């Protein structure tokens, strides 16, 4: 399937790209967003991260046709600070984070991300790491499974799903797991919505340590922003969006003082959010759950 970068128009518009600025794409994927950023740079530079080496290899070919003003970094984005230190980068004009799983990861059955294609349970974004979905499904305790199902995806009746997994081990493939999930839940729930989607999300997040990485990143990213610098984050499910929303809100609240006090306070932060347009939703169904949040550092 062709990869469509989500909310591309809104991302480029809100980055307000300075042709001589420094920009960081922390989720390179297949360079959908990075390509458009790079096209607008003259003496500026793009640093792009991805922990999936396949994404690094494919994107390098694509970006090289546009310009040489880019550096690709094979790393989890929680390592933003340590990686940029290697290049003596101290300030950034714009940072983009697209938290969605890329289309190639979903569409390549052997990656084990999809609940619609049969493959060995895997779900690793970084194939060099040891922990994968097969290990979690076959070795985590019932309590650990319940916890990740609840905390990573709000899975309905997580106790039943966890018990079903425990009772049917070993489980080797994605479609084996899908059948066990369906058999573990009441038929009414299965008819309303495919429960495998939330379960696969929960396991994928655990495999790739996504929520912890996001929390670490947020605290690092804001320290790099120049005046009028932007932090753009695209979320795809309520749990990660709550983390971003809460973090942005905490920064905005630092600007709030008692309105009765006779002093003026210059704001440090502002934020706004965007949803996909009707046109984008018609073009790319995978964008339907996306939300873009934009944080701007004012001083």
Does 45 count as an annotated binding residue?
A: no
CA distances from 255 to 75, 94, 291, 297 (A): 34, 22, 24, 12
Task: Verify cis geometry, omega within 30 degrees of 0, for the bond prior to 170.
Answer: yes
Structure tokens at 51: 């922990």
**Using an 8 Å Cβ cutoff, are 35 and 48 in contact?**
no
Cα–Cα distance between 196 and 27 in angstroms, integer?
Answer: 25
Alpha-carbon gap, residue 165 to 176, rounded angstroms: 10
- Annotated binding residue 98: yes
Tell me if 105 is assigned to a ligand binding site: yes
Confirm or deny that 237 is annotated as ligand binding: no
Distances (CA, A) of 112 to 75, 102, 118, 183: 21, 13, 8, 21
DSSP string, 65-89: TT-S-EEEEES-GGGHHHHHHTTT-
Q: Give strand pairing partners of 272.
A: 294
**Measured between alpha carbons, how far is 6 from 269 in angstroms, rounded to an integer?**
25
Q: Is 33 labelled a binding residue?
A: yes
- 3-class secondary-structure state, position 191: helix
Annotated binding-site ranges: 31-33, 50, 77, 98, 105
Annotated binding-site ranges for S-adenosyl-L-methionine: 31-33, 50, 77, 98, 105
């Amino acid at each position: 399937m062709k990869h469509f970068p989500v909310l591309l128009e809104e991302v480029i518009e809100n980055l307000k790209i300075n042709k001589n600025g420094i920009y960081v794409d922390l989720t390179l994927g297949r360079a959908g967003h990075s390509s458009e950023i790079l096209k607008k740079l003259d003496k500026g530079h793009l640093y792009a991260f991805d922990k999936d080496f396949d994404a690094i290899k494919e994107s390098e070919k694509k970006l090289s046709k546009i310009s040489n003003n880019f550096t690709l970094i094979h790393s989890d984005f929680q390592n933003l600070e340590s990686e940029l230190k290697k290049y003596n980068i101290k300030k950034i004009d714009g940072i983009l984070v697209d938290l969605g799983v890329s289309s190639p990861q979903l569409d390549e059955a052997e990656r084990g991300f999809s609940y619609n294609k049969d493959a060995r349970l895997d779900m690793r974004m970084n194939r060099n790491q040891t922990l994968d979905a097969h290990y979690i499904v076959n070795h985590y305790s019932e309590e650990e499974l319940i916890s990740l199902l609840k905390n990573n995806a709000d899975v309905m009746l997580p106790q039943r799903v966890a018990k079903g997994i425990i009772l049917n081990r070993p489980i080797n493939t994605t479609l084996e797991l899908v059948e066990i999930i369906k058999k573990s839940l009441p038929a009414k729930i299965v008819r309303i919505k495919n429960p495998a989607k939330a379960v696969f999300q929960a396991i994928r997040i655990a495999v790739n340590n996504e929520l912890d990485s996001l929390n670490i990143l947020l605290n690092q990213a804001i320290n790099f922003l120049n005046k009028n610098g932007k932090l753009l984050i695209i979320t795809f499910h309520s749990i990660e969006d709550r983390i971003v929303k809460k973090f942005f809100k905490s920064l905005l609240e630092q600007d709030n003082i008692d309105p009765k006090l006779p002093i003026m306070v210059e704001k440090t932060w502002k934020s706004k959010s965007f949803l996909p347009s009707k046109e984008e939703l018609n073009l790319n169904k995978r964008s339907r759950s996306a939300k873009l949040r934009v944080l701007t550092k004012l001083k």
